Chains A and B, each alone.
Chain A
Amino acid sequence: MTPQLEIAITAVIVSSACALLGVFLVLRKMAMMTDAIAHTILLGIVMAFFFTESLNSPFLIIGAAIIGLLTVYLTELLQRTKLMAEDSAIGIVFPFLFSIAIILISRYAANVHLDVDSVLLGELAFVPFDRFIVFGRDIGARAIYIMGTILLIDLLYVALFYKELKLVTFDALLASVLGFSPILIHYSLMGLVSITAVGAFEAVGSILVIAFMVGPPVSAYMLTDKLRNMLIFSILIGLINAIIGYQISVFFDVSIAGSIAAFTGITFLAIFIFAPKRGMVTMIYTRRVQRIDYGVNSLLFHLYNHEDTNMEEEESNINSINQHLHWDKRFLEKILKKVVSSRYVVLSKGYLKLTPEGREHTIKSFK
């Protein structure tokens, strides 16, 4: 395997794992909690590092998971006092735990790889340097195996507990009445988010983890109204972002994680504008169509109402009809074009007359 391929594979795995769990975080409106966890887990890593004196120990992941859960717990504890909202509680807990980690690193671990810059920004380019060696044989970059395992666990968790995750996320009250503990699901999910964030954060850094966890799910949300599809789309979008983002970074010779995160933003923007059902273009187009439909129907009604009355001459005069309808000339012209081309109305000697089709259409749309 070439180093380039190893980097690309790691990026794809990290991106997919984050995109998968991110769906539930976005639906549970917990995006900011992810940001907090992605930072505070550093404290778990530092403490586990002091304990084991190794940067490759699985205790690092366990330590991170524990601190991740502690972050969630402390935030909820503060929130439950009803003295502050959730975002304020995160604003207290997150910097508190994170700053302890920063102080510990700068005081005791100045000489190891755990420096503040690499924690905040990560570096995918270093992935190929750290090898996984089994029985003296080099079988590839360590990050691929670690992140691969984490992705597998995430996939297994979502596949097994899909029903429970869906129920708890949609209606926690009913879940609790039916015997599916929302707390259990909540904390197991947040535990996995912490573990995924540890893996992701070595590669992409704690600042960008949030882009990987939130970008693809919100993009997917614009494209579908089924949870299952949202999960699939989210992973696919994460995957595409990783592959294209990596190519961009190679082309411009810039930060890999930065390029992927930037491309995540571009994907979202494109989907936000062009999504088939909820995109801005569709919305604007739908509004236009509705406006014209409304105009056509109003004009037809107007003509129908005054047909064969002594007001007909006055009310169907092309030069004054816009005043009766309170329309400006330009809108009237647009609507006239439409009704004439649909053969609902004919124009003769400056007067508008309903055709039989126009009459039928008017009666039908009135019903």
Chain B
Amino acid sequence: MQKYLIEAEDMTVAYDKKPVLWDIDLKIPKGILMAIVGPNGAGKSTLIKAMLNIIRPISGKVLFNGCDYQSQRQYIGYVPQRGSVDWDFPTSIFDVVLMGTYGQMGWIKRPGRKQKEKAMDAIKKVGMEEFAHRQISQLSGGQQQRVFLARALVQDADIYFMDEPFQGVDAKTEKAIIVILKELRSKGKTVIAVHHDLQTVKEYFDWVTLLNTKIIKYGEVDEVFTAENLKLTYGNIS
């Protein structure tokens, strides 16, 4: 039997009475790029947050490498939605990227030279070295996303969860991001991203999860990403 990297079982999440996610079962292998796709309000972000223990599910569990989240935390990276932070916060791009190294340090300890070099390397990798010491409020949407991606890279994780990494970015940034994601995959890392653009699913991802409160279908893009399944997910648009 194949051993899976991430296993979610019977996961149900509810904010009020109505469930946001219903009975989620997922088995995700190592080394793939997976898109989570579905209509607005389908629970895509919630699915990521529940897997990351940010939101407590009312039932079910998630295992990483067969262990619970707490013990595997250092192997898991996260890129929140761009809009979830205050971009007027008094800090520089370099400092934001450096935050990605905090997890390996634990409480109280401060980042040293090694962490700073790592942050600078990541900033170069996303092509932002020119702006490294600039305040973050002057960035465009695409640049903000690059900063978040650089921060994720310094986390040195094995599994990355990304909440809409392509939202509001220009075509050039989108290309740059996808190059980095594919590079991560070639290093054996796994990336799970909430994605909106159905046109690019086939081009960018290997796996896809079609979500609308329940999981409609998930698996390899070629098998799952069919007109029929999309209709089941989005309903009859016509």
Contacts and interface: CB of A to CB of B under 8 A. Distances in A.
Interface of A: 27, 82, 160-164, 166-167, 169-171, 173-174, 176-180, 221, 224-227, 229-230
B5 to A, nearest CB: 17
B80 A173 contact: yes
Contacts of B52: 176-177
A82 B107 CA distance: 33
Nearest to A169: B89
19 contacts: A27-B89, A82-B16, A161-B107, A163-B110, A164-B107, A167-B102, A170-B85, A170-B89, A171-B80, A176-B54, A177-B53, A179-B103, A179-B106, A225-B91, A226-B91, A226-B92, A227-B89, A227-B90, A230-B90
Contacts of A170: 85-86, 89, 91, 96, 99
Nearest to A231: B90
Interface in B64-87: 73, 76-78, 80, 84-86
B137 interface: yes
Interface size class of B (residues with CB under 8 A): 20 to 34
Contact of B90 (A160, A163, A225): A225
Contacts of A166: 91, 95, 99
B135 interface: yes
Contacts of A230: 90
B102 A180 contact: yes
Contacts of B91: 166, 170, 225-227
Nearest to B74: A179
Interface string B105-116: 111111100000
Highest count of chain A CB atoms <10 Å: which of B84, B95, B107: B107
Interface of B: 16, 49, 52-54, 73, 76-78, 80, 84-86, 89-92, 95-96, 99, 102-103, 105-111, 135, 137, 151, 155
B108 A161 contact: yes
B73 A177 contact: yes
Nearest to A176: B54
Contacts of A164: 102, 107-108
Contacts of B86: 27, 170
A323 B224 CA distance: 64
Interface core residue of B90, B107, B111, B151 (most chain A CB under 10 Å): B90
Contact of A179 (B73, B80, B92, B99): B73
The 8 closest A-B pairs by CB, nearest first: A178-B103, A225-B135, A177-B78, A173-B80, A225-B90, A171-B85, A227-B90, A170-B89
B90 A224 contact: yes
Contacts of A161: 107-108
A177 B54 contact: yes
User: Taking each of A167, A177, A227, which has the highest tally of chain B beta carbons within 10 Å of its own beta carbon?
Assistant: A177
B90 A221 contact: yes
Given A163-B110, A224-B90, A173 B78 contact: yes
A290 to B, nearest CB: 16
A27 B88 CA distance: 9
Contacts of A229: 90
A27 to B, nearest CB: 7
Contacts of B78: 173-174, 177
Nearest to B49: A173
A117 to B, nearest CB: 39
Contacts of B76: 177
B108 A160 contact: yes
Contacts of B107: 161, 164, 180
Task: Name the residue in A27, A169, A179, A221 with the highest tally of chain B Cβ atoms < 10 Å from its Cβ.
Answer: A179
B135 A171 contact: no
Contacts of A221: 90
A229 B95 CA distance: 14
A162 B107 CA distance: 10
B27 to A, nearest CB: 22
Contacts of B105: 163
A178 B110 CA distance: 15
A236 to B, nearest CB: 16
A177 B99 CA distance: 12
A169 B99 CA distance: 12
A269 B90 CA distance: 20
Most chain B beta carbons < 10 A, residue from A169, A180, A224, A225: A225
Nearest to B76: A177
A167 B99 contact: yes
Given A164-B108, A171-B85, A177-B103, 14 more contacts: A166-B91, A174-B78, A174-B99, A176-B52, A177-B73, A177-B76, A177-B77, A177-B78, A180-B102, A180-B107, A221-B90, A225-B137, A226-B92, A227-B95
B103 A171 contact: no
A167 B106 CA distance: 12
A174 to B, nearest CB: 6
A173 B84 contact: yes
A178 B154 CA distance: 12
B112 to A, nearest CB: 12
B110 to A, nearest CB: 6
